[in-house]
Amino acid sequence: MNILLLGYGKMGKVIEGFAISRGHNIVARIDLNNRHEFEALSSGDVDAVIEFSHPSSGYSNVKACIEKGFPVVCGTTGWLEHKPEIDKLTQEKGGAFFYSSNYSIGVNIFFQLNKLLAKIMNPHKQYSLSTVEIHHTEKKDSPSGTAITLAEGIIENLDGRETWVNNQIAEENEVPIWSQREGKVPGTHIIKYISDVDQIEILHQAHSREGFALGAVVAAEWIAGKKGVFSMQDLLGEINL
């Protein structure tokens, strides 16, 4: 299939390697320096777009893809206040939009484990909650999109939690996210339930960007020819690595 890369930083280059190794063709690699190449492409040139750019350009990039009729897989975080608009535009245009805050298969298993643990902890009010995310110093948004997804999973399943806060003391109805930026850490997320007598902790630690990149390519393969708004939850039932 013909894949267009929107964003060609470190992640874009790893995605390119996986796409080529799986037999796909990269029709263009678009960044700030060659935006005119994107404008010249039409729907017949592109089977799927993989968009990993910057929080400031994620919304405009995805919108442009949907308007051109390109199926788009997006992994850029930090723009999700506009996602309802993109979902609506996708439906209006009969397009295809796939979004995940994290394309790692392991992280998506972790999302489900987090929800289950939150539900189990409901009767046990003696435990306080803490969540931590650690990423490399080049990451632009804070908290990470993955941390937000984890917080939303807790809010959905733990009674009394209504919203999340970042790097501040949380009220009883809030999920605290503590964001740290260190060296070249690909991504670590920790959920803790702490009481006076013990601590329950689940952790996901990425060792490299490769898990994210492979998941994005698999999502692009999956979305080609489909119409609608999708997520990793839709994909995981059919995934075949």
Dump pLDDT digits (tens) for 151-161.
Answer: 999 999 999 99
* pLDDT of amino acid 241: 43
Domain match, 183 and 161 both: yes
Confidence of residue 43 (pLDDT cuts 50, 70, 90): confident
List pLDDT tens digits, range 139-151: 878 899 899 999 9
Return d(Cα 102, Cα 144) in angstroms, integer: 10
Catalytic residues, by residue number, are 135, 139
Instruction: Give the CA-trace dihedral at 112, 51, 208, 189, to 10 degrees.
Output: -40
**Number of folded domains that form the chain:** 2
Q: Which residues of 33-55 are buried (b: 16+ CB within 10 A; e: fewer)?
A: eeeeebeebeeeebbbbbbbbbe
- H/E stretch holding 20: helix 10-21
One domain, residues 129 and 75: no
Task: Mark whether 170 and 228 lie in a shared domain.
Answer: no
- CB neighbours of residue 81 within 10 Å: 8
For position 13, what pLDDT does the model report?
94
pLDDT for residue 240 is more than 80: no
- Domain of residue 97 covers 2-103+210-235
- Taking the C-alpha atoms of residue 68 and residue 91, their distance in angstroms, rounded to an integer, is 14
Query: Please, which pLDDT band fits residue 18 given cuts at 50, 70 and 90?
Result: very high
Phi then psi for residue 75, to 5 deg, are -120, 5
pLDDT value at residue 82? 95
> Exposed, middle or buried: residue 146 (CB in 10 Å: 0-12, 13-18, 19+)?
buried
What is the model's pLDDT at position 237? 67
Q: What is the mean pLDDT of residues 22-51?
A: 93
Residues 156 and 186 in one domain: yes
Q: Is 240 within a domain?
A: no
Residue 69 has pLDDT above 90, yes or no: yes
Give the span between the Cα atoms of 73 and 221, in whole angstroms: 10
CATH of the domain at 187: 3.30.360.10
Residue spans of beta strands (DSSP E) within 18-173:
25-30, 48-51, 72-74, 96-99, 128-135, 163-166
Whole-number pLDDT of residue 239: 44
Q: Provide the pLDDT for residue 213.
A: 92
User: Residue 228's beta-bridge partner residues?
Assistant: 96
Same domain, 28 and 97: yes
- What's the pLDDT at 208? 84
Does 50 share its domain with 81? yes
Residues 97, 109: one domain?
no
Give the model confidence (pLDDT) of 90-132 as tens digits: 999 999 999 998 898 889 889 989 999 999 999 999 999 999 9
Write out the two tokens for 97: 């939009």
Question: Are residues 135 and 200 both part of a single domain?
Answer: yes
Q: Are strands 128-135 and 188-194 parallel, antiparallel or unpaired?
A: antiparallel
Q: 131 or 207: whose pLDDT is higher?
A: 131
- Among 60, 171, 154, 164, smallest CA distance to 114 is for 154
Q: Check pLDDT > 80 for residue 238.
A: no
